[in-house]
A and B are shown apart, each in its own frame.
Chain A
Amino acid sequence: MKYEIQPTLPPPSSMIGVVGWLRKNLFNGPTNSVATIVVGYFLISFLVPTIQWIFIDSDWVGTSRDACTSGGACWVFIANRLDQFLYGFYPETEHWRPQLAFIIMIGSIIWLVLPQTPKKGLVAILLLVVYPIIAYFLLYGDVFGLPQVETHLWGGLTLTLVLAVVGIVASLPLGIVLALGRQSDMPIVKSVCVTFIEIWRGVPLITVLFMASVMLPLFFPEGMSFDKLLRALIGITLFQSAYMAEVIRGGLQAIPKGQYEAADALGLGYWQKMILVIMPQALKLMIPGIVNTFIALFKDTSLVLIIGLFDVLAIGQAANQDPDWIGYSTESYLFIALLFWVFCFSMSRYSQHLEKKLHTGHGNRA
């Protein structure tokens, strides 16, 4: 007798291919089948008209509302006001300045995000320290023959980015100091830092902005006046630094105690220990947290419209009031939502990617 192993039969056709996938993921069991059909029905009955409204029935070219005749979305409205959405009331001849500032920023961020580029540390320091100064002179002007552009003309996406970037850059050093202070052995330093952090974290940003716009002028001697943007920036920075401090504290606490003790044993002083041993390890762990704070801040910048600054949402609100374009508010809200969504979603994806990368990395977590 000779035994021969028969060739393996292919899996039944109902288990592979499209049918198999459907059976496994959508129709495994009666409950799931019913759920799939119900959810699918609602999705189709909602998504099909929406897509039709946005893409198929919509109008894209034209100069006035007369071009919007097909009953779908009127993107002409957005197209006509695109400059305002992006630059606010920034003079049209000077639009290259925010553009250049934006390109430099995106360029350095891409440099930082790509895995194979060299000298990331240097670029990061340039971006955090030198770039804000360049961007300020570029946007405000009044030097190197650039005409001055007052801050009340800044607006749209430019202003949103200015608020978010300044908020994050300025709150980072303040947050580091506060986090170190909160971990300090000195009771007075510790309690001052804890009080500061808890007060700002406990109140809504709106009240902070109110305070910055109403109360701040009272705090300074007569004649010392701040411009509205600067007041909002002070409010946002103080508010954000408290959240930043908590992120940094989380990073500091994730470093095993042995690292602190080893640094002490080597006879390093406090600042040497922090700068040479703890911070390089902790900062890496903090990047996802910092990115998440940045996302929250980016969304929160829209609140400045309440104190009368024209960020991208405020520009949208103003556009909706335009008597020539009444009735197209959905279009402008969708467009602004898309702007915010693209920024926030890509940042959150990046932070998730980092978290995964760090998690399997060096096992820094205790």
Chain B
Amino acid sequence: MSSDISNSGHKPDGGSAPQSAPPLSKPKFWNDPKKRSLLFQILLLTALGFVFYTIIENTLTNLEQRGMTTGFDFLSREAGFGIAMSLIDYTEASSYGMTFIVGLLNTILIAVMGIIAATILGFILGVARLSDNWLIAKFSALYIEVFRNIPLLLQIFFWYYAVLRTLPAPRQSIEFLGSFLNNRGLIVPAPVPEDGFGLVIMGFFGAIVASWFIARWSRKRQELTGQQFPVILTSIGLIVGVPLLLFLFSGLPLGLDHPELKGFNFKGGITVIPELMALWLALSIYTAAFIAETVRAGILAVSHGQTEAATALGMSKAKTLRLIVIPQAMRVVIPPLTSQYLNLTKNSSLATAIGYPDLVNVFAGTTLNQTGQAIEVIAMTMAVYLTLSLLTSFFMNWYNARIQLTER
């Protein structure tokens, strides 16, 4: 193939042909780029078709020989196994389809928890690495270099087997603030809403709506008069203050269900299983190191002239950071940040190594082993992650198009 193409490169192709020369022979069809690319694509399609045909043919024969069924009927059959942690009602009598949903919800739970913790930790570390305090900058650099270069799975194992599993048994629990920490997990008091708590929740949402209107009004006023209004402070005050006041005035309508030691284990309260804690710790600590680097790169990407211009305009240091540096840094930070979030979500599948019941552990693990329907189960699992990442990349393309600098 390649020699054909290189020949075409050297041929003068009529451009410099002498006038009296015999009429040009029609170029061979493989020297015509259009026809050649058509031929090449047809060949590729045929080859792909053949590969897929062979795979499907082989798979079907293999499945038949092993007496395995196909199709998605298994989703409605009874699962018959328990799951250590479930956000919705799940019993052994639930269907295999339910195991999919339970696993998916657990994956989403750990992903959201991890994203929140890793973002906070990562931003702090990223800014700290640029601090002019030598100790803080070096500490942050040390953290980043250590945790970035150690495999995540190893970190998960460390937190699970070396730290959390070596905690004392329930009877010798470490007790603090009404919570208990032992080798079965962290048991915290469960909040029990009483009459009137709905008012607090309504106040919370009302405050959010009010903040939105205030933001709109202040933007309009600033455009008209140039006067600024402390929107963010007011909003935080409203969103925290209103529910808090309502909570106090309606007579503290929230009870606590305190955990108690009964026999060998605790009754009541909410139990955070050690698998979840280990996974959460490892994912946040590991991803925070990457996010910190992203944040640092973003801040460094804002040219020094911008800060100098802001100083020349008489802006305070805090205002410069808030109005000049951060908005421009975010443009650089957000794309890699989203891909870190995606990485964290995909990495949460390592849960299966310590037995946290996420999608891969429950569905691609137990369900697959019990039903033996590898193709359907793995396809469904992969589809979940694929959908997530496609959605993210669509969002990224949209966002990039929106924030791109318009230049000449």
Contacts and interface: CB of A to CB of B under 8 A. Distances in A.
A192 B48 CA distance: 9
A214 B154 contact: no
A325 interface: no
Contacts of B150: 299, 337, 340-341, 344
Contact of A333 (B5, B148, B158): B158
A231 to B, nearest CB: 13
B385 interface: yes
B192 interface: no
Contact of A300 (B6, B63, B151): B151
Contacts of A108: none
A77 to B, nearest CB: 13
A303 B350 contact: yes
A340 B153 CA distance: 12
Contact of A202 (B8, B158, B385): B385
A305 B162 CA distance: 18
B62 interface: yes
Contact of B58 (A199, A201, A203, A219): A219
Contact of A198 (B5, B63, B390): B390
Contact of B133 (A32, A185, A187, A189): A32
A313 B378 contact: no
A220 B153 contact: no
B62 A218 contact: yes
A28 interface: yes
A207 B375 CA distance: 12
A153 interface: no
Contacts of B154: 302, 313, 333, 336-337, 340
Contacts of A303: 153, 350
Interface stretch (B36-44, B76-84, B170-178, B269-277): B36-44
Nearest to B11: A267
B266 interface: no
A222 B364 contact: no
Contacts of B133: 25-26, 28, 32, 35-36
A203 B385 contact: yes
A220 B58 contact: yes
Interface stretch (B115-123, B134-142, B200-208): B134-142
Nearest to A42: B139
A188 B41 contact: yes
A306 B14 CA distance: 63
Given A32-B132, A336-B154, A188 B6 contact: no
Interface in A16-36: 25-26, 28, 32, 35-36
B52 to A, nearest CB: 10
B149 A186 contact: no
A271 B5 contact: yes
Contacts of B390: 198, 202
B225 interface: no
Q: From B151, B360, B364, name the one whose CB has the most chain A CB atoms within 10 angstroms.
A: B151
Contacts of B347: 204
A239 to B, nearest CB: 11
A304 to B, nearest CB: 10
Interface in A176-230: 185-189, 192, 198-199, 201-207, 210-211, 214-215, 217-222
A272 B393 CA distance: 34
Nearest to A301: B151
Contact of B352 (A306, A341, A345): A306
Contact of B385 (A207, A220, A344): A207
A329 interface: yes
Contact of A270 (B5, B7, B385, B389): B5
Contact of A192 (B44, B146, B385, B386): B44
A150 B375 CA distance: 29
Interface residues of A, number: 60
Interface string A259-290: 00000000111111000000000000000000
Interface in A319-366: 320, 329-330, 333, 336-337, 340-341, 344-345, 348
B74 interface: no
B59 A40 contact: no
Q: From A185, A202, A221, name the one whose CB has the most chain B CB atoms within 10 angstroms.
A: A202
Given A32-B133, A303-B153, A221 B58 contact: yes
Contacts of A185: 37
A222 B65 CA distance: 9
Given A43-B139, A303-B153, A268 B9 contact: yes
Nearest to B375: A215
B353 A306 contact: yes
A32 B350 CA distance: 40
A317 interface: yes
Contacts of A337: 150, 154, 158
A299 B154 CA distance: 9
A317 B132 CA distance: 42
A81 B382 CA distance: 38
A39 interface: yes
Nearest to A217: B62
A218 B58 CA distance: 7
B361 to A, nearest CB: 10
B9 A313 contact: no
Contact of A341 (B6, B136, B149, B158): B149
8 closest A-B pairs by beta carbon, nearest first, are A269-B9, A25-B134, A202-B389, A344-B149, A204-B346, A299-B151, A188-B41, A202-B386
25 contacts: A28-B132, A35-B136, A36-B136, A186-B37, A189-B41, A189-B44, A192-B44, A202-B386, A203-B382, A204-B349, A204-B360, A210-B378, A214-B368, A215-B378, A217-B62, A221-B58, A269-B6, A269-B9, A271-B6, A272-B5, A299-B150, A303-B153, A329-B162, A330-B158, A340-B149
Given A204-B349, A341-B146, 11 more contacts: A32-B132, A199-B382, A204-B385, A205-B346, A207-B364, A214-B374, A214-B378, A215-B378, A217-B62, A299-B152, A302-B153
Interface of A: 25-26, 28, 32, 35-36, 39-40, 43, 185-189, 192, 198-199, 201-207, 210-211, 214-215, 217-222, 267-272, 295, 299-300, 302-303, 305-306, 313, 317, 320, 329-330, 333, 336-337, 340-341, 344-345, 348
